[in-house]
Amino acid sequence: MIQLENYGFKKIGFWSLSNHKSTKHLSSLQGINFNLNEPVGKLSNSVYVFVSNDKIIYIGETTAGLNSRFQGYRYGNPLKTDTDNRIKIAITKILENKEKVAIWHTTPFGTMELPSGEKLQLPASKPLEEFLISKFSPELNVKNLHK
Protein backbone atom coordinates (compact mmCIF):
# COMPACT_ATOMS: atom_id res chain seq x y z
CA MET A 1 0.00 0.00 0.00
CA ILE A 2 1.18 3.46 -0.83
CA GLN A 3 1.81 5.41 2.36
CA LEU A 4 -0.49 8.39 1.82
CA GLU A 5 0.62 9.84 5.16
CA ASN A 6 3.99 10.54 3.48
CA TYR A 7 2.17 12.99 1.19
CA GLY A 8 0.29 14.77 4.01
CA PHE A 9 -2.93 12.74 3.77
CA LYS A 10 -5.14 11.56 6.61
CA LYS A 11 -7.86 8.91 6.38
CA ILE A 12 -11.11 10.79 7.01
CA GLY A 13 -13.91 8.40 6.11
CA PHE A 14 -15.41 5.89 3.72
CA TRP A 15 -18.14 5.28 1.16
CA SER A 16 -21.13 3.04 1.93
CA LEU A 17 -24.25 1.76 0.20
CA SER A 18 -27.36 3.76 1.06
CA ASN A 19 -30.92 4.57 0.02
CA HIS A 20 -29.96 7.85 -1.66
CA LYS A 21 -31.54 8.24 -5.08
CA SER A 22 -29.36 8.58 -8.15
CA THR A 23 -29.83 10.89 -11.10
CA LYS A 24 -32.45 9.61 -13.54
CA HIS A 25 -30.20 7.74 -15.99
CA LEU A 26 -28.40 6.03 -13.07
CA SER A 27 -31.59 5.18 -11.17
CA SER A 28 -30.94 1.44 -11.53
CA LEU A 29 -27.87 1.80 -9.29
CA GLN A 30 -28.04 1.41 -5.55
CA GLY A 31 -27.41 4.65 -3.71
CA ILE A 32 -24.09 5.50 -2.08
CA ASN A 33 -23.14 7.85 0.71
CA PHE A 34 -19.91 9.37 1.99
CA ASN A 35 -19.22 9.15 5.70
CA LEU A 36 -16.66 11.60 7.06
CA ASN A 37 -15.08 11.05 10.48
CA GLU A 38 -13.55 14.51 10.54
CA PRO A 39 -15.13 17.98 10.24
CA VAL A 40 -13.47 18.55 6.86
CA GLY A 41 -16.55 18.68 4.63
CA LYS A 42 -16.37 22.43 4.06
CA LEU A 43 -12.62 22.65 3.51
CA SER A 44 -11.72 23.99 0.09
CA ASN A 45 -8.54 23.62 -1.98
CA SER A 46 -8.39 19.97 -1.01
CA VAL A 47 -7.00 16.83 -2.61
CA TYR A 48 -8.83 13.58 -1.90
CA VAL A 49 -8.00 9.97 -2.66
CA PHE A 50 -10.29 6.94 -2.83
CA VAL A 51 -8.60 3.68 -1.84
CA SER A 52 -9.93 0.13 -2.24
CA ASN A 53 -8.09 -3.11 -1.56
CA ASP A 54 -4.95 -1.17 -0.59
CA LYS A 55 -4.88 0.46 -4.03
CA ILE A 56 -5.48 4.09 -5.02
CA ILE A 57 -8.42 4.01 -7.43
CA TYR A 58 -9.08 7.75 -7.84
CA ILE A 59 -7.45 11.09 -7.02
CA GLY A 60 -9.37 14.35 -7.21
CA GLU A 61 -9.25 17.92 -6.01
CA THR A 62 -11.85 20.50 -5.17
CA THR A 63 -11.94 24.21 -4.56
CA ALA A 64 -15.62 24.02 -3.53
CA GLY A 65 -15.29 21.77 -0.47
CA LEU A 66 -15.53 18.03 0.04
CA ASN A 67 -19.25 17.90 0.91
CA SER A 68 -20.14 19.75 -2.25
CA ARG A 69 -17.81 17.68 -4.42
CA PHE A 70 -18.89 14.33 -2.99
CA GLN A 71 -22.58 15.14 -3.58
CA GLY A 72 -21.86 14.70 -7.29
CA TYR A 73 -20.54 11.20 -6.71
CA ARG A 74 -23.45 10.38 -4.40
CA TYR A 75 -26.18 11.26 -6.90
CA GLY A 76 -24.44 11.28 -10.26
CA ASN A 77 -24.79 14.00 -12.87
CA PRO A 78 -27.53 14.55 -15.48
CA LEU A 79 -24.80 14.73 -18.16
CA LYS A 80 -24.18 11.07 -18.99
CA THR A 81 -20.45 11.46 -19.74
CA ASP A 82 -19.65 13.39 -16.54
CA THR A 83 -16.84 12.27 -14.21
CA ASP A 84 -19.31 12.09 -11.31
CA ASN A 85 -21.18 9.26 -13.04
CA ARG A 86 -18.07 7.25 -13.87
CA ILE A 87 -16.84 7.45 -10.27
CA LYS A 88 -20.30 6.75 -8.80
CA ILE A 89 -20.66 3.62 -10.94
CA ALA A 90 -17.20 2.37 -9.94
CA ILE A 91 -17.71 3.02 -6.21
CA THR A 92 -21.14 1.35 -6.31
CA LYS A 93 -19.75 -1.78 -7.98
CA ILE A 94 -16.93 -2.03 -5.45
CA LEU A 95 -19.33 -1.67 -2.51
CA GLU A 96 -21.79 -4.19 -3.99
CA ASN A 97 -18.88 -6.67 -4.13
CA LYS A 98 -18.58 -6.23 -0.33
CA GLU A 99 -15.30 -4.34 -0.67
CA LYS A 100 -14.49 -1.05 1.05
CA VAL A 101 -13.67 2.38 -0.34
CA ALA A 102 -11.75 4.61 2.08
CA ILE A 103 -11.51 8.39 1.73
CA TRP A 104 -8.20 10.18 2.37
CA HIS A 105 -7.69 13.96 2.36
CA THR A 106 -5.18 16.79 2.57
CA THR A 107 -5.30 20.55 2.11
CA PRO A 108 -1.85 21.44 0.74
CA PHE A 109 -0.33 24.91 0.74
CA GLY A 110 2.92 26.20 -0.64
CA THR A 111 4.89 29.21 0.51
CA MET A 112 6.04 31.98 -1.78
CA GLU A 113 8.53 34.51 -0.47
CA LEU A 114 8.25 37.98 -1.94
CA PRO A 115 11.31 40.21 -2.53
CA SER A 116 10.15 42.22 0.49
CA GLY A 117 10.66 39.14 2.66
CA GLU A 118 6.93 38.68 3.21
CA LYS A 119 5.60 35.16 2.75
CA LEU A 120 2.37 34.14 1.11
CA GLN A 121 0.56 30.85 1.69
CA LEU A 122 -0.85 29.63 -1.64
CA PRO A 123 -3.20 26.69 -2.28
CA ALA A 124 -1.32 23.80 -3.90
CA SER A 125 -4.21 21.35 -4.44
CA LYS A 126 -4.13 21.30 -8.24
CA PRO A 127 -0.35 20.76 -8.57
CA LEU A 128 -0.43 18.03 -5.90
CA GLU A 129 -3.37 16.29 -7.61
CA GLU A 130 -1.57 16.33 -10.98
CA PHE A 131 1.69 15.11 -9.43
CA LEU A 132 -0.03 12.19 -7.66
CA ILE A 133 -2.04 11.17 -10.73
CA SER A 134 1.15 11.14 -12.77
CA LYS A 135 3.05 9.21 -10.10
CA PHE A 136 0.43 6.57 -9.20
CA SER A 137 -1.76 6.29 -12.34
CA PRO A 138 -5.07 5.51 -10.58
CA GLU A 139 -7.32 3.37 -12.76
CA LEU A 140 -10.31 5.77 -12.62
CA ASN A 141 -8.52 9.01 -13.48
CA VAL A 142 -9.41 9.98 -17.06
CA LYS A 143 -5.84 10.96 -17.89
CA ASN A 144 -4.98 7.30 -17.39
CA LEU A 145 -8.01 5.84 -19.17
CA HIS A 146 -6.71 7.08 -22.53
CA LYS A 147 -3.12 5.84 -22.33
Half-sphere exposure of 63 (CA within 13 A, CB side): 5
pLDDT for position 34:
94
CA distance 71 to 113: 37
Would the pLDDT of 1 be above 70? Answer: no
Task: Give pLDDT tens digits for 81-118.
Answer: 778 888 998 999 999 999 999 999 999 999 999 999 99
Average pLDDT, the chain: 88
Which residues neighbour 134 within 8 Å (Cβ) at sequence distance 6 or greater?
A: none
Other Cβ atoms closer than 10 A to 73: 25
pLDDT for position 78:
64
DSSP annotation of 78 reads: S
Among 28, 27, 66, smallest CA distance to 50 is for 66
Among 135, 126, 115, smallest CA distance to 47 is for 126
Task: Give this prediction's pTM.
Answer: 0.88
Delineate the domains of the chain, giving CATH numbers in brackets.
4-142 (3.40.1440.40)
Task: Give pLDDT tens digits for 34-50.
Answer: 999 877 767 789 999 99
